[in-house]
A and B are shown apart, each in its own frame.
Chain A
Amino acid sequence: MPERPFILLVDDEPEFLAMYREILSELPSHPEVHTTHSGARAIAMLESVAYAVLVCDLKMPSMDGLQVLAIVRRKFPHLRTVIITGLVDEQYRIRAYAMGVDLFIGKPKCTEESQRLLDCIESLLDLEQQSQSGFRGIQQKSLVDIIQLECLCQSSAVLRVRGPAGDGSIWFIDGQIIDAEVPGVGGEDAFRRILSWKTGNFEILPAEPERQRSIHNSNQGLLLASAQAIDESTPNALQAGDKPAEGEASRALRRFDGVQFGLVSTRDTGVISDAWALDSAETMAKWLAQTLAKFQALGEEWGVGDLRQLDATTLQHQVLMARHGGFDFAVAFDKSTPASERQATFNQIKQQWES
């Protein structure tokens, strides 16, 4: 049985401490929750117990949350830290992130917010189990961790990343990733490029609500793609330009839950690259190439952008079709598969094929 993680809660209001202690005790990892009402006492407690996460109020007498954080960052650089506050102010938020806090979140006012807080802290406890490498604000953390936390706490902010290939930015509005940019590249391509960076520095900047949305994929879909990107960056992964061996793609498609049949063909020509569980793959490949090309042309003519996806409903299936990286894709899912799951799997299949 894994060891129970320790969480230290710091708040000058005893009612909040009691409430948070009760809430946090319900986490799946069953943490042992200790509490204290002052920053100075918290520092002393951190000396004696190996806590996994420190949850600290921002506004406290004698030593405020930022002062506690400043000491903690110096003395316990690997400790995961959360600032929880009733004073959700953009400037404090920026300062807290600049000091390396893992999460800055408002005090929950409803069950939904309370659940969000629980998800965030559980996520931090999970991260604590994983190796510490990658990006450095003040403490080290992976870029995916930072993005997940921004999404979980439904932040509106700009994440500026200084990586080996220059600067990149990711825009969040209410926890949704809406845009990304690296020099010369925007949207999802830029997002993937940023996530492929293994080292660098980051900073959280104020939100830009006027920023145009260029990413319409779900956070889950993007992060799945990011996990894929990280896998691919490992030495054993297929290198760019490598083609999967014959039949590998079919096996890959079979691996995904809910996939009923699949087809990958060369864009415009309709030449089959891979097909699975299809009786008339050639006919379908031809139809797919023609149909996607026509809708692509319509999008260009109407000035509404490139065709993103064509979904179709049959009696038993939901078929997702799209063009991606020189190929046309059609993947059919059982209708009972939830829409978000279908979309995430479809994105993963496209991503995997591209790699």
Chain B
Amino acid sequence: MGILNFFLKSSAPPLVKLTEGCFTVDRTGRVLTSTLPQTFPAEFMEKLTALVLQTFRSAKAASLIFSEIHVQYPALKITARELRGGAIVFIAPLASEKPIQPNRA
């Protein structure tokens, strides 16, 4: 069994499949609503929330008042819009070729 465990690499983190969806957070970073599946790791969401809120706040401190940010990676696009101290965050893996457009209404 030991040799099997070696090949199974049980200690390696599971490969996460990023899915398309969005979530809203308040100014404290608490997730209010989400269309992301439950399989989407909570720690990913927490990390992204913290980074997005921090970006809006630190930009403000540097005299840059952002209403929206778009972060582009080769395989992912993140769009975040400031919402009264909180944010709505859209995640769109580029492989889906269906980039999310934030609701302009």
Contacts and interface: CB of A to CB of B under 8 A. Distances in A.
Interface residues of A, number: 30
Nearest to A296: B73
Contacts of A134: none
A169 B32 CA distance: 49
Chain B: number of interface residues, binned into ranges:
20 to 34
A299 B62 contact: no
Nearest to B44: A302
Contact of A302 (B18, B55, B64, B72): B18
Contact of A319 (B16, B64, B75): B64
Secondary structure class of chain A's binding surface, majority of residues:
mixed
A304 B68 CA distance: 21
Contacts of A308: 72-74
Contacts of B65: 314-315
B36 interface: no
Interface in A63-109: none
B69 A312 contact: yes
A255 to B, nearest CB: 24
A260 B16 CA distance: 40
A108 to B, nearest CB: 27
A312 B63 CA distance: 13
Contact of B64 (A299, A305, A306, A314): A314
Contacts of A216: 72, 74, 94
Contact of B67 (A287, A304, A315): A315
Given A302-B18, A304-B76, A313 B68 contact: yes
Given A298-B48, A302-B44, A304-B76, A310 B62 contact: no
Contacts of B69: 310-313
Interface string B51-83: 100110011011111111111111110000000
Contacts of A286: 62
Interface in A208-257: 214, 216
